[in-house]
Structure 1
Amino acid sequence: MIERLYIKKHITFDECELEFKPGLSVFTGASGAGKSVLMSAILAVFGLSESDASVIEADVGFEFDMGEFGIESEEINAFKMVKEKSVRYFINNQSIAKKNLNEIANQHIKYLSVKNVDEFANEKLLNLLDILASKSNQKHSENLSKFKSVFDEFTRTKKELEKIEKDEIRLEELKEFAKFEIDKIEQISPKSGEFEELMEIKKRLSKVDKINDAWQKAWMIFEIEPKVVDALRISEIDSSFFEDAMNELRAKKEGLNLDELEELNVEKILDRIEALSWLEKRYGGIDEALKTLAQRKDELRRYEDIEFEKSNLEKKFKEFKKDVVNLSNLISDERKNAKENLETSINFYLKELYMRNIKVMFLEKDIDKSGKDEIVFQIDGTNLKNLSSGELNRLRLAFIASNADIVGFGDGVIILDEIDANLSGKEAMSIADVLVKISKFYQIFAISHLPQLSSRANSHFLVVKNGNTSSVHNLDENEKITELARMISGEVITQEAMEFAKKLRNF
C-alpha cells in the first residue's frame, strides 16, 4: 500500500504531505480546487502520468520484484520523481528509467482510467476458470500440472526438430564447412604449447650471429687462463676460486647449444610458425583450434547421423503432440464446466453496478502454454471495445471483485479517475458498495463527485483552494459530515443536507 505522499511545487500545490491507511480513500472538493492535480501527482511518481512538480515522493509497503533492475526491495520502498532540467525517477535512491519504473509499479498499482483491458487478459481469465474447475474437480489440477510438463517437452522437441529440418536444407554446406576446418587443422596438426616453443627458438635464432661474435671476442679469457693461475700461485693465493669460476663459465658456454641451433632448418621452422600463426589468428589460440577440431568432428558425426536423429525426434514429437492435445481437451472441458460459475460471480457484481449480464465465450486457438482456449466477453452481443469508458471501468471493478472472491485474496493499489462522474445517486451507491468490498483486499484512491461514494470512504481528504494555492487535509468525522452535506446541497448547507449526510455515514 501507499503509506505516504509528499509533493513540492506541483501547479497549485506549494507543498503538502499526506499519510494513508488501508481501504478506500476519497478526494473531494469544489471544482478547480486541485483534486485532479493531486491525483496526477500520485500517478506521476510511478511514471503513469506527466507532472510539473519539483519533487514527488511516495512510500510503498510492498515486496517488489526489482532484481533484474539492480534494485533490492525493502520493507518500505521509496519512490521519487525529481524535475529540474529534466525529469528523473528513483526507487530506494537508485535511478531508474521511466519504462522500467512502469514495469515495476504495475506489479502493485492499477490505474483504472483509460480503456485498458489488462484485467481481461486471456491468461488471467483462464487462471480464474482453472481455480473454479479445480475446486469442483481435483483431477483438473493434476491435468494442468501434467500439461505444463508435457508441453515443455513438446516445445523443446519441436525446436530441436525445426533446427534439424533447417540444418537439412543446408546440410551439404555445413558438412563441407566442417570437413574444411577439420582438414585444415589436421593438416597443420598443432600441439598445445608448440607455438610458444617455436617463437622462443625463433627469438634465439635471431641472436645466434651476435652471440657467436660476442664469444669470439671474449675467447681470449680462456687463452690467458693459465697465466692468471700462475700469477695467483706465485702470489701464494689459492687459485681454486678462479678455476671454479672458469669451469662454470665453460659450462654456461657449452649450455648455449649453439651448435644445435645452427643445425636447425630455419626455413622449416618459419613455415611452421606461419601455419600456427594462421590458427592463432583464426581461432584465438592453438588450444582453441584443437577444441574447434573436436567440435567440428562431433558436428560432422551428427550431420551424418541426422536422419536417424530426425526419425527419433519425429516419433517423440508425435507422442508429445498427442498427449498435449488430449490434455488440452480435458482441461478445456473442465474450464467450460466452470464457465457458468465465473459468469455468475461477475454478473453478481454487474447487477449491483446496474449493468447488463456478461457472457463468457470460448474460442479455439493454437495450443500454447495455457492450452487451446481463448476467452472473450460479450454484454448483450457487444464486445468490450465497444463499451463506454464508464461501462468498461465498472466491468473492471466487477472483475476485480470477482477475482478476489474466487482467488480468496488480493493485494495492491487501485487508482480511480472520477469513477462516479455523471452517474445517478443509485448508480453511485452501487459503485460505492462494490468498492467497499474490494477495499478489503486493495487500497483504493478515488476522486469523488457524489456523496454516496464519499460516505463509504475509510479516509476522506478535502482539497481546497485559497487564491492560487491548493491544500489538502484528512477530515475527522464531523468534518466528513459537513463535506458530504456540501456535496448534497452546494455551498449553502441546509439542515436537510446535514441530516442526509449523517444518514449516509450511518449506513
Structure 2
Amino acid sequence: MLRHLDIRDMLIIDRLELAFQPGLNVLTGETGAGKSILLDALGFVLGWRGRADLVRSGAEQGEVVAEFQLAPGHPALGVLEEAGLPAEETLILRRVNTPEGRKTAWVNDRRASGEVLRALSDVLVELHGQQDDRGLLDPRQHRAMLDGHGALGDLVAATRGAWAEQRRADKALQAAEARLAEMRAEEEFLRHAVAELDALDPQPGEEETLDARRRLMQAAERMRADVARALAALGLEGAEGAMGDARRWLEGVSDRAEGGLDAALSALERALVELTEAQAGVERFAEALEFNPAELEETEDRLFTLRALARKHGVAPDDLAGLADGLREKLAALDGGAGEIAGLAAAADRAARAYAEAAARLTAARAEAAVRLDAAMAAELGPLRMERAVFTTEIAPAPPGPDGVDAVTFTVATNPGAPAGPLNRIASGGELSRFLLALKVCLTADDSGLTMIFDEIDRGVGGATADAVGRRLKALADGGQVLVVTHSPQVAALGAHHWRVAKEVAGEVTRSRVVPLDPTARVDEVARMLAGDTVTEAAREAARALLGTAR
C-alpha cells in the first residue's frame, strides 16, 4: 500500500508530505483546490504519461517521492527482481523533472527507466477516474476485460499460437500454389528445353576442346608437309643418322683420347635421347593430323550448336550443363508439385482445425466467465441501490482472429422490462458512475496488494445513493487501501482518514495545501460540503449526525 507521498515544486505545490493509511482515505476540497494535482504527481512518479508542464514556475526541478509497503509475495517484488533492482518490503520511487522536460527516476536508490516504473505501477495502483470511462465504455476493450476477469490468459495465448500457426500454414500453401502456377505457365518451355539439352548433353569445357580441335583440323593441310619434312630432318637421313655417325667415330678413338672425349660422348648420348623423344612427339602430332574429313564437319556442327543453344538461354557455353540441371529440378518440382500441395493443404487443414478447437475452448471459457461476471455485477449493484438493474455480458460471433471468434459487449438494462443496451447509451450520469464502480470492483477483485484510487467516482449521485457508493468503497477498503477524491459529504463521512485540499494565495503566489483533519476540523469540512461557503451550526449538527451514522 501507499504509505508516503512527498511532492516538491510541482505545479502549485512547493512542498507537501502526505502519510496515507490502510483503509478508506478521503481527500476533499473545493473545485480547483488542487486535488487533481495530487493524482498528477502520483502518476508522474509511477511513470504515467501525462501533462508535461509539471514543474512549479521558477523552480529548478520538480520532485516526487512515493513510498509503498509491500506484503510478502507482492507482485511488485517479481518486477523488481526481473529488472535487477533491490527487492525489499519497502519500495521507494523517486522521480525528478526539469522545466525542459528531462525526467530521471530511481527505484530504491537505483536508476530506473520509465518502463520499469510503469511495470511497477500496474501492480501497485489502480486508478478509476473521470477520464477512465472511455476504456470501460469501449466495446473493443470488453473482450480483454472479460479475459482478465476470467483468468483466461493461457487459453488466449494458446489461441494466438494456433492462429499464428494457421496463418503460417496458409501462407506456405499459398506460396507453393503460386510457385506451381508459375511453373505450369512455363511447363511447355521447361519440357522442350530439358529435352533439347538432354539430347545435346553439353559438358563443362567442351566448347574450348571442340574449338581447339576444329582449328587444328582446319590447319592440318598446311602443317602436314612441314611436319613430314621435320620428321625426315630428324630421322636416319638427317639428324639421327649424322649424330649416330658422330658417336661411332668418337667411340672409335675414345680409348686413345685419355678421357678427353668422355664428356662429349655423354652429351651426345643425352642429345640422342632427347632427339628420340622429339621424333616421337612429332610422329604423334603427325598422326593427329590424320582424320576423317567428315570429322571436321561434325565438330563444327556440335560447336555451333553449343554456341547457339548458349545464346538462346543467355548463358556461357560452359554453363549449359548447370542450366540443364536447374531446369530438370524445376521440372521435377512441377511433376511433384501436386504431392507438395496436397501435403501443405493437409497441414493447413490440421492448423485450421487446431485453431478452431482452441477458439472453441476459449469461447466456452468466456461464456463461463461471463456468467460469473454477471453474477458478481448483480451482487455489486444491489448495495449501490441498483438492485433492479441488469448487467449482461453479451458474446457474439466475430470474424476469426488471434484472440478468437468472439465479440464481447457489456450491456445494461436499468429497469425491468427495459431493453438492454450499451452502458453509455442506457445509463444516466449517476447510474453510469455506479455501474463503472461495480465493474471496476469486479474486474480488480483478484488483484492483491493494489492501492485503488477513485477520482470523483461518485459524481452525479447524492443522498442515499451517495451513501451507498461510500459504503461500497469503505467495504472495498477493508483489509486494503482505497484513496477517494470526492465532493460527496456522504462518501467523505465514511472515510477512515480525511484530508482537506485547499488553495492559498499569498501576494501573487498560489500554493496548494493538504491538511489532515482531526475530528473537529472534519466536522467543519463535512459541514462545508453540506452547506457551501457559509457553515452554520445546523450544518455542523448535520455533519456530526452524518459522521456518527457512518460509524
Give TM-score, length-normalised by structure 1.
0.61
Report whether the alignment pairs 1:447 with 2:485: yes
Choose the corresponding residue for 1:342, options 361, 373, 382: 373
- Relative distance call for 1:333 and 1:35 in structure 2 (3 A) is closer
Report whether the alignment pairs 1:504 with 2:549: yes
Q: CA deviation at 1:457?
A: 1.8
What letter is aligned with 2:99? E
Partner of 2:464: 426
Q: CA deviation at 1:329?
A: 3.8
1:37-436 equivalences under 5 Å are 37-46=37-46, 47-50=48-51, 51-53=54-56, 54-60=62-68, 61=70, 63=76, 72=85, 74-75=87-88, 76-92=91-107, 93-94=110-111, 96-97=113-114, 102=118, 105-111=121-127, 112-114=129-131, 115-117=133-135, 121-129=142-150, 152-153=161-162, 155-166=164-175, 168-170=177-179, 308-326=339-357, 328-329=359-360, 332-333=363-364, 335-336=366-367, 339-355=370-386, 356-368=389-401, 370-380=403-413, 381-386=420-425, 391-404=431-444, 407=446, 409-436=447-474
Q: CA deviation at 1:450?
A: 1.9
Stretch deviating more after TM superposition (386-395 or 424-433):
386-395
What letter is aligned with 2:96? M
Q: CA deviation at 1:306?
A: 6.5
- Relative distance call for 1:340 and 1:396 in structure 2 (3 A) is same
Query: Contact 2:449/2:480 (CA < 8 Å) preserved in 1?
Result: yes
- Relative distance call for 1:421 and 1:149 in structure 2 (3 A) is closer
Partner of 2:33: 33
Report whether the alignment pairs 1:492 with 2:535: yes
CA radius of gyration, larger in? 2
Query: Contact 2:55/2:97 (CA < 8 Å) preserved in 1?
Result: no
- The separation in 1 between residues aligned to 2:93 and 2:342, in whole angstroms, is 57
- Relative distance call for 1:157 and 1:67 in structure 2 (3 A) is farther
Query: Contact 2:166/2:352 (CA < 8 Å) preserved in 1?
Result: no
Query: Contact 1:88/1:95 (CA < 8 Å) preserved in 2?
Result: no
- The separation in 2 between residues aligned to 1:69 and 1:389, in whole angstroms, is 43
Residues 207-239 of structure 1 show CA distances to partners (whole Å, capped at 9, x for unaligned) of: xxxxxxxxxxxxxxxxxxxxxxxxxxxxxxxxx
- The separation in 2 between residues aligned to 1:388 and 1:71, in whole angstroms, is 48
Q: CA deviation at 1:14?
A: 1.8
- The separation in 1 between residues aligned to 2:544 and 2:170, in whole angstroms, is 76
Q: CA deviation at 1:447?
A: 1.5
Report whether the alignment pairs 1:456 with 2:473: no
- The separation in 1 between residues aligned to 2:444 and 2:63, in whole angstroms, is 35
- Relative distance call for 1:372 and 1:32 in structure 2 (3 A) is closer
Q: CA deviation at 1:362?
A: 1.4
- The separation in 2 between residues aligned to 1:456 and 1:363, in whole angstroms, is 41
Q: What's the Cα RMSD here?
A: 4.2
Residues 391-411 of structure 1 show CA distances to partners (whole Å, capped at 9, x for unaligned) of: 544323211322355x4x544
Query: Contact 2:162/2:358 (CA < 8 Å) preserved in 1?
Result: no
Query: Contact 2:83/2:116 (CA < 8 Å) preserved in 1?
Result: no
Query: Contact 2:433/2:460 (CA < 8 Å) preserved in 1?
Result: no
Report whether the alignment pairs 1:2 with 2:18: no
Query: Contact 2:23/2:480 (CA < 8 Å) preserved in 1?
Result: yes
Residues 227-270 of structure 1 show CA distances to partners (whole Å, capped at 9, x for unaligned) of: xxxxxxxxxxxxxxxxxxxxxxxxxxxxxxxxxxxxxxxxxxxx
Query: Contact 2:176/2:341 (CA < 8 Å) preserved in 1?
Result: no
What letter is aligned with 1:420? D
- The separation in 2 between residues aligned to 1:77 and 1:306, in whole angstroms, is 65
- Relative distance call for 1:101 and 1:128 in structure 2 (3 A) is closer
Q: Match of 1:399, SS?
A: helix
- Relative distance call for 1:172 and 1:328 in structure 2 (3 A) is closer
- The separation in 1 between residues aligned to 2:439 and 2:399, in whole angstroms, is 26
Query: Contact 2:28/2:500 (CA < 8 Å) preserved in 1?
Result: yes
Residues 96-141 of structure 1 show CA distances to partners (whole Å, capped at 9, x for unaligned) of: 35x775565345433322133259531231454578xxxxxxxxx9
Listed as ranges, the gaps of 5+ residues in structure 2 are: 57-61, 184-203, 205-325, 414-419
Q: Match of 1:349, SS?
A: helix
- The separation in 1 between residues aligned to 2:405 and 2:34, in whole angstroms, is 49
Q: Match of 1:110, SS?
A: strand
Q: CA deviation at 1:346?
A: 0.7
Query: Contact 2:148/2:443 (CA < 8 Å) preserved in 1?
Result: no
- The separation in 1 between residues aligned to 2:64 and 2:439, in whole angstroms, is 31
- The separation in 1 between residues aligned to 2:159 and 2:444, in whole angstroms, is 30
Q: CA deviation at 1:479?
A: 4.0
- The separation in 2 between residues aligned to 1:389 and 1:103, in whole angstroms, is 33
Residues 425-482 of structure 1 show CA distances to partners (whole Å, capped at 9, x for unaligned) of: 2221121122123324763322121221112223211223443433223334454344
Q: CA deviation at 1:27?
A: 0.8
Q: Match of 1:332, SS?
A: helix
Query: Contact 2:45/2:64 (CA < 8 Å) preserved in 1?
Result: yes
What letter is aligned with 2:390? N
- Relative distance call for 1:504 and 1:326 in structure 2 (3 A) is same
Q: Match of 1:400, SS?
A: helix
Query: Contact 1:78/1:91 (CA < 8 Å) preserved in 2?
Result: yes
Give TM-score, length-normalised by structure 2.
0.56
- The separation in 2 between residues aligned to 1:154 and 1:85, in whole angstroms, is 46
Query: Contact 1:8/1:16 (CA < 8 Å) preserved in 2?
Result: yes
- The separation in 1 between residues aligned to 2:85 and 2:341, in whole angstroms, is 46
- The separation in 2 between residues aligned to 1:313 and 1:465, in whole angstroms, is 71
Partner of 2:193: none
Listed as ranges, the gaps of 5+ residues in structure 1 are: 132-140, 175-186, 188-295
Q: Match of 2:134, SS?
A: coil
Q: Match of 1:401, SS?
A: helix
Q: Match of 1:116, SS?
A: helix
- Relative distance call for 1:367 and 1:12 in structure 2 (3 A) is same
Partner of 1:264: none
Residues 143-179 of structure 1 show CA distances to partners (whole Å, capped at 9, x for unaligned) of: x86x9658735632540441352255357999xxxxx
Partner of 1:20: 20
Partner of 2:513: 471
Q: Match of 1:492, SS?
A: coil
Query: Contact 2:469/2:491 (CA < 8 Å) preserved in 1?
Result: yes
Partner of 2:220: none
